Each structure stands twice: as C-alpha cells, then as structure tokens.
C-alpha cells in the first residue's frame, strides 16, 4: 500500500549555533492510518510537524531530509506551490490556539478566505461551508462565532474552531498537536469521534498527545521521541505493552500513574 505521507531523515538545526533539534527522523503514514507521537516536553514533536507544514522560518532553522505528501516533495516546494497544499492537502491543528489565529481577523473572514483560497466557491457558499464545519464540532451559535474575533472565545472553543478549519477541506493528512488537551471530556469525545470518521474515510492522521488513552483508542503505530530523535517505534500494542526502552517505560509509568490519581 502506498503511504500518503513519508518523512525521511528529517534534520532540523538552529542556524545561529548549529544546535541539532531534530535528528534523522523517518516515518510514514498510510491511508486511513493513525500514527501517534509521544515524548517529553522539548523532544522535537512540534518542530517535526511544523517543518512538514513549512511553518519554520528558514532564516532561523536549517531543515534537511525529505517530506513527501502523496509523492510531492514538500521541503523543495516554492512558497507559492506550498500555499496551494498547506491547509488543503495537509493541515495542522496547533498546540496553542490563541497564537494560531490572526487577532485582527474575525473567525468567519478567516474561514471564508481559507475556503476560497482552495475552492471555486462563492463567498456565500464558503460562509455556509464554514457554518456547517463549526456545527460539526459541537459549536452552536455558529453564526455568532463567525462574527467574533479570536480573543473573545475561550481556549476550548478556539481549539474546536481550529479543528473545524483543519477538517473542513478534507485534507489527505491531518496533524493534531495536542488537539484535545484544552477540551472537556464531552468535547474530547466528539473530536475523537470525528477523528475516527476521518480515519475511516481514508485520511491519514498524525497525533501528538500526552494522553495515552487517546492513542490506545485511535492509533495504529506510535513513535517515541527524545532529544530530537526517535528512540522507539512500533504498533501501539508493542510500545504500550512491551516497551523496549527505559525512557518509554518511564513515560508510560508517569502517565498511567497520573491517570490513576486523577491528575491527567
Ligand atoms: N524558535 C526556536 N528557537 C530556538 N529553539 C527552539 C525554537 N523552537 C523550538 N526550539 C527548541 O527545540 C526543541 C524542540 O521543541 P518542540 O517545540 O518541538 O518540542 P515538543 O516536543 O513539541 O515539546 P512540548 O511537548 O512541550 O510541546 C526544544 O528544545 C525547544 O526549546
Ligand atoms: Mg509541542
């Protein structure tokens, strides 16, 4: 079977001091497959994903290796080419919803512009599509949200708006960076259900989370990152029930213990 996303020997360095932040990271995501990434804070999970979305400033980071989306070479794309792909063929739900939006732009404008950049829809049609996308994320009063600026919404609402935007154009791959962290249990379940539907429709998902319960339910395979490297990988079952490294064992212990005592 063909992979929709393939990352080969991805390396990310800081230009100013050559600090190596991501080292020789390779993985693949197949059609309808879910790949989870776990690892302590600062291990390079977000940088890895942002590089695939061309979100890293090339004046700050040196990026090498290969990222292929349905065979197309992402890292080698011009800015113009990547504008057609980002948000349309691959999209990312950011870890921090507050900084992911333009504070000056109403949600509706943002959604309509994004839709119209990638489809031939009219303003009115794009607006209707945006409303429907919000509705799916259990955001009622969607018209009011469309008319709001980002800072007037709660973190959890904004996160669901971002999820709606990431999903609405039905990309081939969706990257979710701690997408459900700011949500209550009810909304987490709604998002998870949407993720399951996406997977069933053939979309590939890359899920970064500290919630191993989410991965146990959703993921096929898991990567474990530490200090910018993949130190362990395998099926969810292998990694969770038969971890090979002390580091993974420690991660699992810390998380499941936290769950038991009600912290996570
Ligand atoms: N703009 C930047 N300038 C310098 N260093 C950076 C920059 N962005 C990230 N880093 C460094 O790169 C490393 C990896 O960061 P990254 O955000 O990918 O971690 P993460 O695994 O997503 O962590 P978390 O779980 O906290 O989100 C960290 O050591 C971080 O300090
Ligand atoms: Mg991160």
- Whole-number Å distance, alpha carbon 41 to ligand 1 midpoint, is 8
Structure tokens at 228: 């910018």
Ligand nearest to the CA of 39: 1
Q: Is 50 in the pocket of ligand 1 (CB under 6 A)?
A: no
Q: Is 55 in the pocket of ligand 1 (CB under 6 A)?
A: no
Residues in the chain: 264
Pick the CATH number of 3-260 from 3.40.50.300, 1.10.1200.10, 1.10.10.10, 3.40.190.10: 3.40.50.300
Torsion of CA 159, 164, 166, 170, to 10 degrees: 160
Residue 74 burial (10 A CB sphere; 0-12, 13-18, 19+): buried
What are the DSSP calls for 210-253, one per residue? S-HHHHHHH-SEEEEEETTEEEEEEEHHHHHHS--SHHHHHHHH
Domain boundaries of the chain, sorted by first residue: 3-260
CA distances from 31 to 37, 173, 202, 206, 235 (A): 17, 9, 5, 11, 16
pLDDT lower than 70: segments of the chain: 1, 256-264
- Output the residue whose Cα is nearest ligand 1's atom 8: 47
Q: Is 251 in the pocket of ligand 1 (CB under 6 A)?
A: no
Q: For position 262, what pLDDT does the model report?
A: 46
117-143 confidence digits (pLDDT tens):
999 999 999 999 999 999 988 888 999
- Whole-number Å distance, alpha carbon 127 to ligand 1 midpoint, is 36
Q: Please check whether residue 220 is in contact with residue 236, taking contact to mean a CB–CB distance below 8 angstroms.
A: yes
Q: Is 43 in the pocket of ligand 1 (CB under 6 A)?
A: yes
Helix, strand and coil in the chain, % to nearest 5 = 40, 25, 30
R_g of the chain, CA atoms, integer Å? 18
How wide is the angle at C-alpha 21 spanned by C-alphas 17 and 24, nearest 5°?
A: 120
Q: For position 94, what pLDDT does the model report?
A: 87
Q: Is 224 in the pocket of ligand 1 (CB under 6 A)?
A: no
Q: Which of 204, 178, 202 is nearest to 191 (CA)?
A: 178
Sign (positive or negative) of CA dihedral 255, 261, 263, 264: positive
- Whole-number Å distance, alpha carbon 207 to ligand 2 midpoint, is 11
Q: Residue 147's Cα: distance from chain center in Å?
A: 26
Ligand 1 closest atom vs CA 47: 18
- Whole-number Å distance, alpha carbon 241 to ligand 1 midpoint, is 28
Q: For position 263, what pLDDT does the model report?
A: 41
Q: For position 264, what pLDDT does the model report?
A: 41
- Whole-number Å distance, alpha carbon 94 to ligand 2 midpoint, is 9
- Alpha-carbon gap, residue 172 to 73, rounded angstroms: 15
Q: Residue 175's Cα: distance from chain center in Å?
A: 2
């Amino acid at each position: 079977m063909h992979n929709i996303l393939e990352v080969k020997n991805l390396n990310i360095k800081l230009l100013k001091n050559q600090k190596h932040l991501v080292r020789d990271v390779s993985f693949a995501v197949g059609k309808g497959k879910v790949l989870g990434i776990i690892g302590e804070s600062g291990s390079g999970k977000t940088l890895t994903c942002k590089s695939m979305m061309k979100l890293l400033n090339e004046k700050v980071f040196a990026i090498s290796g290969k990222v292929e989306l349905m065979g197309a070479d992402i890292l080698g794309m011009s800015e113009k080419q990547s504008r057609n792909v980002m948000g349309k063929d691959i999209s990312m739900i950011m870890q921090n919803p507050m900084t992911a939006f333009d504070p000056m732009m109403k949600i509706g404008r943002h959604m309509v512009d994004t839709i119209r950049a990638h489809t031939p829809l009219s303003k009115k049609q794009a607006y209707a599509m945006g409303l429907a996308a919000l509705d799916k994320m259990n955001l009622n009063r969607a018209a009011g949200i469309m008319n709001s600026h980002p800072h007037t919404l709660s973190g959890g609402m904004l996160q669901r708006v971002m999820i709606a935007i990431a999903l609405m154009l039905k990309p081939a791959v969706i990257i979710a960076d701690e997408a459900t962290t700011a949500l209550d249990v009810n909304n987490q379940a709604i998002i998870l259900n949407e993720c399951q539907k996406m997977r069933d429709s053939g979309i590939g998902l890359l899920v970064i989370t500290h919630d191993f319960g989410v991965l146990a339910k959703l993921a096929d395979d898991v990567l474990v990152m530490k200090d910018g490297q993949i130190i362990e990988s395998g099926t969810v079952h292998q990694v969770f029930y038969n971890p090979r490294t002390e580091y993974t064992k420690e991660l699992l212990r810390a998380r499941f213990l936290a769950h038991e005592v009600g912290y996570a």
